[in-house]
Amino acid sequence: MPLTRRRTIATLAAGSAALASGRSLARNGPVKVGAVLEFSGGLELFGQQARLGLELAAAEINAAGGILGRPVELLFEDNKTDPKTAVEKASRLIARDEVVAICGPITSSARDAMAPTMARGRTPLLYATNYEGGACDRYLFVFNTVPNQELARLLPYLARTRGSRFYCFGADYVWPQKMFAQAEKLVAGLGGTIVGKELTPFGVKEFAPVVRRIEASGADVLLFALPGADGITFIRQAEDLGLLKKLTVGFLGFSEAYLGAFGPGKGQDMYVAVPFVASAEATGPKEFVARIRARAGQDAVVSHYVMTHWLALTALARALEKVGRIDREAVVEGLEGLTLEAPTGPVTIGAKDHHVTLAMFLAKTQGDRLVTVEALGPIAPESGCG
């Protein structure tokens, strides 16, 4: 078949018509949002918490008529707690599924690995896990806390009520290191002292030597940043070896997912600062917990991860409605400077730093619950982004 001008034009026209109809189909179909999360490989507990929040948000958005009349559809992908898999899943969601944004992941390593892919695909990543700060990009929004938001009020409270000699103990990676760097600044400002600082690799099963050293340091407060199962093992052994009777633990990165893991009557009176307390008496949190449990069962754990992931997707819907258009750039434009109502009060997304100012709560472990000690009000993030 010879290539004539007429044929070429006809083919091009047909092609572009097909393309156009494809586009318009996408315009009337659901608003697709990806979620790349840890559903296996070690951190599935957090992945499941995130999923609860995202699913509730999607159901609520759709019950209220969707985003600009279009329903929202969540596409969940398991990153297997592996950065490389996270990147692969993100690429596919961006290229094949044409999502307007991606929620997740949980780990900083997966987030850092995904960041270049997100920027290249000009697709916003909505990250809703507490982390060390310093992740700054046009296509990255953070919906959970950075170190200063956890520490700014927790440390003065502990110094005032428990004593000003602090011992820092945590896992040997970036989040505890940034946490402790921030803590050192704050403790110096309070006139307190850091009597010891120590990091441990993951997978350690025997903490007796560390417990002895902390005990010998005469610390009043143990600032503790060892997440996950290792943290639980440490607290159990510290309890057995009598350390918890001699000092108070300030548990960094705590969430309700830990409750019950220490054993009945163990791990009591540990202090935390979190953006959400499930046992709170206020109407907002109470209703939020009830909404989650109506879907996920009456004994579902509702940690701040549920709330922050709910917040991320809800903010995305508000942002698109504000801009009045549904595409990836509209998500960025709409989220910058957005204020919305969370179960715990108003949340503001920084127009420049893309991190959130949100209400924080001083709380402690008591019985099998986390109970509020003091509502701290909104705390602005020191995100490390200009």
Partner 1 sequence: MAADPSWPLLLLDAASHVLTLLLVALGLAVTFGLMGVINLAHGGLVVLGAYTVFAVERAGLGFWAGLLAAPLLVGLVGLVLQILIVRRIQHRPLDTLVATWGVGLAIEQTIVLVFGAASHTVAPPFTTTVAIAGSSYPAYRLFVMAVALAATGFTLWLLLRTRLGLMVRGTVADRRLAAATGLPIRRLDAGTFAYGSGLAGLAGAVTAPLMSIDPQMGTGFLLPAFLAVLVAPFAGPLGTVAGAGLVGGTESFVSAVASPVAAQLVVLAGAVVLLRLAAGRRVGRER
- Give me the residues that bind partner 1 (CB under 8 A), please: 40, 42, 44-45, 48, 172, 195-196, 198-206, 208-210, 212-213, 215-218, 228-233, 236-237, 240-242, 257-258, 260-264, 266
Distance CA 206, CA 224 (A): 16
Q: How far is the CB of 195 from partner 1 (least distance, A)?
A: 7
- Buried (b) or exposed (e) across 132-160, using 16+ Cβ within 10 A? bbebbeebbbbbbbbbbbbbbbbbbbbbe
Give whichever of 39 and 361 is closer to partner 1, judged by the CB atom. Answer: 39
Least distance from partner 1 to the Cβ atom of residue 44, Å: 4
Measured from the CB atom, the residue of 189 and 263 that comes closer to partner 1 is 263
> For residues 10 and 204, which CB has a smaller minimum distance to partner 1 in the complex?
204
> 3-class DSSP state for residue 245?
helix
d(CA 238, CA 9): 77
Nearer CB in complex with partner 1: 207/271: 207
Closer Cβ to partner 1, 24 or 40, answer by number = 40
**Minimum separation from the CB atom of position 49 to partner 1 (A):** 10
Burial of 61 (C-beta count, 10 Å sphere; 0-12/13-18/19+)? buried
Residue type, 136: C
CB of 217 to partner 1, least distance (A): 5
Q: Which is nearer to partner 1, 136 or 232 (CB)?
A: 232
Sign (positive or negative) of CA dihedral 65, 68, 69, 71: negative
Q: How do 339-342 and 345-349 pair as beta strands?
A: antiparallel
Least separation, in Å, of the C-beta of 172 and partner 1?
5
Strand partners for 318: none
Q: How far is CA 141 from CA 178, 338, 374, in A?
A: 19, 12, 28
> What is the DSSP secondary-structure string of 19-47?
HHHHHHHHHHS-EEEEEEE-SSSS-HHHH
CB of 202 to partner 1, least distance (A): 8
The least distance separating partner 1 from the CB of residue 301, rounded to whole angstroms, comes to: 8
- C-beta closer to partner 1: residue 208 or 290: 208
